[in-house]
Structure 1
């Protein structure tokens, strides 16, 4: 078996993770010159530069990035195998996921996980986009991708959009429409989507990547086009649009994990159709780690919780 300089591998991982020779030296309790020596040994063995250095700036090269994934996975496997032999439970787990899903669904449901598995130590890493599936990033993930080689995925949610507004705003809108003879009762069980274009529409352009596109697509489900006089307010994130709706500024489109009727009494879901966006959220983990206790606990719990809260079956109209 031909192996690289083994002492250099944890040094390389630390430098890459911390993006610094000096911080890696502090973490490993060695001198900076010792860190530099180990990196030079490894680069000489591989015949590749692992880092580019421009003054104080340090970055992984392309070969370095590929090598880091393999080295990190190998070191983690050695660590887990050693802990198992020592009888240490593998119940420490890192989960990477979207910030909105973490804040609006996972964190409110975490007390149920903690009561069911008090021995589990779950660390959350919030991301602005779908996280990279790699042991270097986390042990398990909430992701939009289900086709990554070597990973198992469980469907949690198929996203759909529907309009909401504050309860006070809805009551005033219905009163105005009723007085104008546009609805038959002051509390309609359904409403013509076209009537909503008289209201300010709160648009989240990050959903589809273009301003107004969320409302344009939602209205198109009913065969409608945006009216040129409709007023819009634009937001980069659905959380911001929800807060604007909560403060009576207009109508927003949201999804099932962002809106909970029992936890948002000041917001009301309008009696209209939904739009399936095409995004699907999955719980993902490396298939080779499927027998680990921590992953089994979280996998079983999150699937059960997604089903019991209605998230998993939200594709079916209520």
Structure 2
């Protein structure tokens, strides 16, 4: 078996993760010169530079980044196997989730998770874009990715977008369209969804990486083109669009986890008209080799059970596995 200097591997992982020789030395309780000696020995053995040093700046080379991805998983497996033999059950997990999902859905439920699984030590890694599926990022992910070698993916949620506005704007819309009841307003908007474009529309860039694309797709699902001359308030992120709607700036498209029509708490009202089902779905992703870890199984089961409790009309029930 052709193995590298094994004592150097945890040193390399620490330097790469902390991006610092001195911080790695402090973490490992060794001298900085010892860290340098380990890295040099490993580079000599591999015949490749692992880091590029430019003054105080330290960066992984392409070879170093590839090597880190390969060995970090193995080091974690060795650590977990050792703890299992010693009777220690790992309860620390890092969950990487999108910012809007974290703020509107996950964080309000964390106290419930703590009550059900008090020993689970969960760290939330919030991302504004697609997270890198790697042990260096997190142990478990909520992601729209559904393919990567070595990972398992469980369907979790398919996003639906629907129009909401403040209570005050809702009354203005109902009055402007000469409707007295919600049924009358629903019938008028169902017959002529383009009437909604008479009012300011709020659009976000983050959903489809293009302003007004969310509304274009919503109108298309209603069988109509995006009305010409529609006035838009533009925001970079769905979270900002949601907040803008609460301040009566216009009608926004939000999703199920941002708005609970059975228990609204943000002053928003769902307009009685159609929904747009997004093309991407969310998945719970994790390393296949870690699928039987107790803490990871607890978190996956809890996430699925919480989503089932929402009882959203377009959601299929998830069968726990």
* Correspondence for 2:70: 70
* Correspondence for 2:286: 285
Preserved CA contact (<8 Å) 1:157 1:313: no
* Correspondence for 1:251: 251
Q: Displacement of 1:112 after TM fit?
A: 2.3
* Correspondence for 1:86: 86
* Correspondence for 1:189: 186
Structure 1 segments of 4+ aligned residues over 4 angstroms from their partners: none
* Correspondence for 1:20: 20
Aligned residues: 311
Counterpart of 2:48 in 1: which secondary structure? coil
If the length of structure 2 is used for normalisation, what is the TM-score?
0.92
1:9-38 deviations in Å (ceiling 9; x for gaps) = 111111111111121112222222211111
* Correspondence for 1:220: 220
* Correspondence for 2:124: 124
Kindly tell me: are residues 311 and 134 of structure 1, through their superposed partners in 2, closer, same or farther at Cα, counting changes over 3 Å? farther
Q: Displacement of 1:315 after TM fit?
A: 7.0
If the length of structure 1 is used for normalisation, what is the TM-score?
0.93
CA RMSD, Structure 1 to Structure 2 (Å): 1.7
* Correspondence for 1:302: 303
Partners of 2:148 and 2:241 in 1: CA distance = 32
Counterpart of 1:142 in 2: which secondary structure? strand
Partners of 1:256 and 1:136 in 2: CA distance = 30
Partners of 1:44 and 1:281 in 2: CA distance = 43
Counterpart of 2:252 in 1: which secondary structure? strand
Map 1:126-275 → 2, pairs under 5 A: 126-178=126-178, 183=179, 185-187=180-182, 188-190=185-187, 191=189, 192-261=192-261, 262-264=263-265, 266-275=267-276
Counterpart of 1:76 in 2: which secondary structure? helix
**Structure 2: tracts of 5 or more residues without a match:** none
State whether structure 2 residue 54 is matched by structure 1 residue 54.
yes
Partners of 2:293 and 2:217 in 1: CA distance = 43
Partners of 1:197 and 1:103 in 2: CA distance = 29
Q: Displacement of 1:48 after TM fit?
A: 0.5
Map 1:75-114 → 2, pairs under 5 A: 75-114=75-114
1:279-298 deviations in Å (ceiling 9; x for gaps) = 10011111221211101111
